[in-house]
Amino acid sequence: MVATSVDLPRLVIAAPASGTGKTTVATGLIAALHRRGLAVSPHKVGPDYIDPGYHALACGRPGRNLDPWLVGSSRVAPLLLHGAGDRTAGDRAAGDRGPADIAVIEGVMGLYDGMASRPGYASTAHVARLVDAPVVVVLDTRSMARTAAAVVLGLRAFDERIHLGGVILNRVGSPSHERMLRSALAEIGVEVLGAIARADEFVSPSRHLGLVPVAEHAAGALAVVDALADAVERSVDLDAVLALARRAAPLDVRAWDPGTEVGGAVTSTEPVVAVASGPAFTFGYAEIPELLVAAGARVVGFDPLRAAALPPGTRGVVIGGGFPEVYAEALSSNRALRAELAAFDGPVLAECAGLLYLGESLDGAPMVGRLPVRSRMTSRLTLGYREAVSVSPSCVGDAGETVRGHEFHKTATDPGHGTTPAWGWNGAWHGFVDRGLHASYLHTHWAGHPSAARRFVEAAA
């Protein structure tokens, strides 16, 4: 396909480290721009599921991830344009409303922090280069004055391919503190786009894996997002931010297209694929339902906390990640749905939370019982990228296929894998393949291996 030149104003919100207020500023900025009547396309560097939920709440468009490890470097800019572009009538049901006026991309960790084994790969700086976007640094200025300029100078000089376009000062202590910071940054020729006072800091509820997802405290989350928008409107020069974003050069790539990726519909019967949602299952990438639809499925959501049965005509089930441990008793009490899932004979994909739900028990509470697995909370966080090899043929792939994914959990299962494992990585087997079911801790992004969507719909049809 011939690439086209697309003019998309865009910027990346970065920081020297985690915990400086990136999510606070990015979410507030998205919401403030949306209040101006702009269509904002929100994106997140890395595999994180929770921050994109806040982004979506701030602007009414799905938060989308940009992760070179999960999808490949060549797909990052096309996926950005897909999220920011006009949607078809069917896609608009997901929340996108026409082409975006600006894309705001929240970074991950520190600006140059990426994979330990491949320095800088999948970092915020890496993604900023892939999408050729200016970078705005959020700087935590507590206990800092002139040194702020030294930090920003180092970030700018470390990689001259990065266009560091400005700084937003965060947690500023007083007007005099702000004057000192602005003076120091003027010495190195870096524009200060805003200064947010310490008094404007907001805290959203969090737990063992980070922020509480939007779906779990909708009213509280909306109040937080509104407060963040107020703070950004008071403290950030939005006109200067927009001017910076508009200086981004046109992108000479074609937008990612799910139909092209899966090679068109594999069936005309539109088998129903039920996708778990609701407070207990909030983790999922927006492109996965799009790929299923492109492959010929009709995607219908269901909430395992409340649904008495699977959607009518269900031929396949996808249960992604989330926090079933928080809702174990409520999930257990929905006996009718548990029984139906235990007897369901179509293809089932379960990732992380889905694995826990389909086992015999979770922290002692009875679950679906489809797998002979007992799960429990632990004190150990398992986190990291994985390169996995498919051990067994299943509803999402053939044996021997290599897939990139990530783990993110504080639970453990007994046993850790079945007699027919799902994956192999780091010299060990992981997960379960059993009678059309594929379940494991591995989170995958099907934009990186769209054949999984095609395979799943074929199995459902």
**pLDDT tens track for 390-420:** 999 999 999 999 999 999 999 999 999 999 9
Q: Write down the pLDDT at residue 220.
A: 78
Among 18, 13, 12, 25, smallest CA distance to 171 is for 25
pLDDT of residue 1: 44
Task: Provide the 3-class DSSP secondary structure of residue 120.
Answer: coil
| pLDDT interval class at 211 (50, 70, 90) | low
Tokens encoding 97: 């409303």
Which of the pair, 15 or 5, is modelled with greater confidence? 15
Which tokens sit at 47? 């595999």
C-beta separation of 48 from 63 below 8 A: no
DSSP 295-341: TT-EEEEE-TTT-SSPPTTEEEEEE-BS-TTTTHHHHHH-HHHHHHH
Give the end of a domain, one of 228, 252, 276. Answer: 252
Q: What is the 3-state secondary structure (H, E, C) of 183-212?
A: HHHHHCCCCEEEEEEHHHCCCCCEECCEEC
168 and 108 part of one domain: yes
Q: Is 352 a catalytic residue?
A: yes
Active-site residue identified among 352, 371, 395, 453: 352
The structural domain count of the chain equals 2
Tokens representing residue 396 in the block: 């999402």
Same domain, 113 and 221: yes
How far apart CA 34 and CA 229 sit, in angstroms, is: 9
DSSP 213: P
Q: Are residues 105 and 192 in the same domain?
A: yes
153, burial (CB in 10 Å: exposed 0-12, middle 13-18, buried 19+)? middle
Residue 235 has pLDDT above 70, yes or no: yes
Q: How many CB atoms lie within 10 A of CB 73?
A: 14
Work out whether strand 437-440 and strand 348-351 pair parallel, antiparallel, or are unpaired: parallel
Same domain, 130 and 181: yes
Same domain membership, residue 76 and residue 188: yes
Query: Does the structure show a pLDDT above 90 at 460?
Result: yes
Q: What is the CATH number of the domain that holds 55?
A: 3.40.50.300
- The arithmetic mean of pLDDT across residues 76-93, rounded, is 74
290 lies in the same domain as 242: no
Task: Characterize the bridge pairing of strands 272-276 and 314-319.
Answer: parallel
Task: Check if the beta carbon of residue 439 is closer than 8 Å to that of residue 418.
Answer: no
* Average pLDDT for 286-290: 97
Q: How confident is the model at residue 202 (pLDDT cuts 50, 70, 90)?
A: low
Same domain (yes/no): 222, 367: no
Six-digit token string for 437: 């079911």
Question: Which residues, including other chains, have CB under 8 Å from residue 455's CB and lie 6 or more apart?
Answer: 395, 396, 397
Based on the fold, state whether residues 54 and 127 are members of the same structural domain: yes
Q: Mean of the pLDDT values across residues 192-209?
A: 71
- Last-in-domain residue among 252, 283, 314: 252
Question: Would you say residue 218 has pLDDT above 70?
Answer: no
Judged against a pLDDT cut of 60, whether residue 95 lies above it is answered with no
Work out the pLDDT band at 259, boundaries 50, 70, 90: very high
How far is CA 401 from its chain centroid?
A: 24
Say whether 97 sits in a helix, a strand or coil.
coil
Domain co-membership, 10 together with 159: yes
Q: Does the structure show a pLDDT above 50 at 88?
A: no
Q: Are residues 312 and 277 in the same domain?
A: yes
Q: Give the model confidence (pLDDT) of 127-184 as tens digits.
A: 999 999 999 999 999 999 999 999 999 999 999 999 999 999 999 999 999 999 999 9
* Torsion, CA 439, CA 445, CA 451, CA 452, rounded to 10: 20
What CATH number is attached to the domain comprising 347? 3.40.50.880
State whether 274 and 336 are in the same domain. Answer: yes
The helix/strand/coil state of 107 is coil
pLDDT at 422: 98
Mean model confidence pLDDT for the chain: 93
For residue 391, give its domain range: 258-460
The residue out of 199, 217, 252 marking a domain boundary is 252
Q: Which two tokens stand for residue 316?
A: 């396949």
pLDDT of residue 87 exceeding 90, the answer is no
Instruction: For 305-324, write each residue's pLDDT tens digit.
Output: 999 999 999 999 999 999 99
Q: What is the average pLDDT across 11-26? A: 96
Same domain, 113 and 233: yes
Mean pLDDT of 29-35: 98
